[in-house]
Amino acid sequence: MGAKKSGPGRRLRLLFIIGMLAFFAGGGERATALTRSEKNTIRVFQQVSAGVVNVTSTSIERDFFFNPVPTEGSGSGVVIDNGGHIVTSFHVVRDSSHLEVTLADGSRWKARLVGSSPRNDLAVIKIDASKGQLKPLPLGSSKRLYVGQKVLAVGNPFGLGQTLTTGTISSVGRDIRINEDVVIRGVIQSDAAINPGNSGGPLINSDGEVVGINTAIFSPTGTSVGISFAIPSDTVRNILPGLVSIWPKLLSWIIAVILVGSFIWWFWRRLQPRDMRH
């Protein structure tokens, strides 16, 4: 009789142990489950990271004895087309004698400056990488940004490439002074952690679109305190043709020369006596 009673007992204990194991296994899965926002962040980073590059600039300074001393700085950039054009911050490449770009695959390329807009702190550089190595990122619209909207910043802070930080839009339409002579108007303020080296990198929305180019931080210590600024993507889109190609600038000069010449001719004709106009 004792043997018959022990059988069901062993089965109950076995079922209890299996149930507990299943419970803890299920709890572990729930503990590591990703939220919708986390999944979106991971997806967007995987989608855009290949289009973000590291920019290294070398400038020549003089020591006390006027000997040339190379000084190296670093920043970030965004691939904008398959021709090798990259948008970055003007202050990253300013006064540089040598530029080098490191792609996400680790390859390094010599770069050259093709256009700049100091008053918008924007510049375009170019590398001769093959089309297959370039991952252009789409420009979104900065007009449809809302305070509280999630944004991601990808860049090269302190030389640590492919770094992601997240935050929200804190304000839009800000005016910031980046030096004594330049005030940039209508910039985006966010609380995404931006540090030296992030300049020129993209501010990304949840759809993987570039909505801004990170340009500056507000900090008494030089490191992130949760206030960063980005040039709106609409500003980038408006001035980009003139930075990438010389033809818009040339056409503008030609039109300006024609208009000025026409005005001078008209004014000269008005100064002539009436009987000499024919």
Is pLDDT at 263 greater than 50 in this prediction? yes
pLDDT of residue 250: 58
R_g of the chain computed on alpha carbons: 29
From 170, 199, 224, 228, active-site residue: 199
CA dist 10 and 110 (Å) reads 73
Q: What would the pLDDT profile of 151-205 be if each residue is shown by its tens digit?
A: 999 998 887 778 999 999 999 998 888 777 778 889 999 999 888 889 999 999 9
The predicted structure's pLDDT at residue 217? 73
Which has the minimum average pLDDT: 130-134, 184-188, 272-276? 272-276
Residue 126, pLDDT score: 96
Q: Are 123 and 214 in contact (CB under 8 A)?
A: no
Length of the chain: 278
pTM of the model: 0.74
Largest CA distance in the chain: 139
Residue with tokens 């509280």: 148
Answer whether residue 223 shows pLDDT above 80: no
- Give pLDDT, residue 248: 54
128: annotated active-site residue: no
Examine the pLDDT at 29 and tell me if it is beyond 50.
Answer: no
What percent of the chain has a predicted confidence (pLDDT) above 70? 77
Instruction: Choose the catalytic residue: 76, 89, 96, 121.
Output: 121
Residue 116 bears catalytic tag: no
Helix (H) or strand (E) holding 231: strand 228-232
CA nearest to 55, candidates 17, 91, 88, 18: 88
For residue 245, what pLDDT is reported?
65
Between β-strands 122-126 and 85-88, what pairing exists: parallel, antiparallel or unpaired? antiparallel
Tokens of 151: 């944004």
- Cβ atoms within 10 Å of 39's Cβ, excluding its own: 11
pLDDT (0 to 100) of residue 3 = 47
Q: Which residue would you say has higher pLDDT here, 43 or 259?
A: 43
Sign of the Cα pseudo-torsion (155, 160, 164, 170, in order): negative
- According to the model, what pLDDT value does residue 213 have? 96
**CB–CB of 149/204 below 8 Å?**
no
Q: How confident is the prediction for the chain on average, in pLDDT? A: 83
Phi then psi for 212, rounded to 5 degrees? Answer: -170, 160
Contact indicator for 187, 229 with CB cutoff of 8 Å:
yes
What is the band of 266 on the pLDDT scale with cuts at 50, 70, 90?
confident
* Per-residue pLDDT reduced to its tens digit, 67-100: 566 667 889 999 999 999 999 999 999 988 899 9
Q: What phi and psi, each to the nearest 5 degrees, are found at residue 90?
A: -60, -40
* Contacts with 23 (C-beta within 8 Å, 6 or more apart), sequence order: none
Q: Are 129 and 109 in contact (CB under 8 A)?
A: yes
| 65 — pLDDT class (breaks 50, 70, 90) | low
Which residue reads 């789409």 in tokens? 138
Active site residue 199: yes
pLDDT surpassing 60 at residue 276: no
Catalytic residue, chosen from 85, 89, 91, 233, is 91
Convert the pLDDT of each residue in 5-24 to its tens digit.
Answer: 456 667 667 766 776 666 66
| Burial 204-214, CB ≥16 within 10 A → b, else e | bbeebbbbbbb
pLDDT at 22: 62
At residue 161, the 3 state secondary structure works out as coil
Predicted confidence at residue 37, as pLDDT, reads: 92
Greater model confidence, 143 or 252: 143
